[in-house]
Amino acid sequence: MSSKYYSRMFSGDWQENNQVIIKDYSYDIYYSYLEMLHTGRIRINQSNIAELIDLANCYCDERLMKHCRTFIRRDLNKQTLFTYLPLISKYKLDDMHDKLVQLTIERFLPKITNNLFGKPKKYYRIS
């Protein structure tokens, strides 16, 4: 009962249901999720993170959300910044802000510095 969603589903009024229909997530994602519920392990990569983090959010599963946060934090770099930024914003992953600030500074500060202190541009006088 690590998932609040399943805890509600298998208690009270939903107890009579003998079937669960999954239509919002792919078979592979849902199978991975069920495997995580039983083993505690899950494979997360760039191609499945969006669907897994959405599932974690929808099912209020803190353990899966923690796995997703850990993956994003480890994989977040200059190249993946714009891939993960929508997920960080949508799911309010506030604990990522420090890394976002660091990456933003690393990515844009050199450009700003070069523009301010780089070689002076040649200006031509038009008569």
Fold classification of 4-117 is Potassium Channel Kv1.1; Chain A (3.30.710)
For the chain, percent of residues with pLDDT exceeding 90: 46
- Is the model's pTM score more than 0.85? no
Tens of pLDDT, residues 49-94: 999 999 999 989 999 999 999 999 999 988 898 899 999 999 999 8
CB–CB of 51/26 below 8 Å?
Answer: yes
Helix or strand or coil: residue 80?
Answer: coil
Q: Which residues contact 91 (CB under 8 A, 6 or more apart)?
A: 53, 57, 65
Going by the DSSP 8-state scheme, the letter that residue 107 receives in this structure is H
List b or e across 13-41, with b for residues whose CB sees 16 or more CB atoms inside 10 angstroms.
eeeeeeeeeeeebeeebeebbeebbeeee
Distances (CA, A) of 57 to 15, 53, 90, 102: 23, 6, 10, 26
CB–CB of 53/87 below 8 Å?
Answer: yes
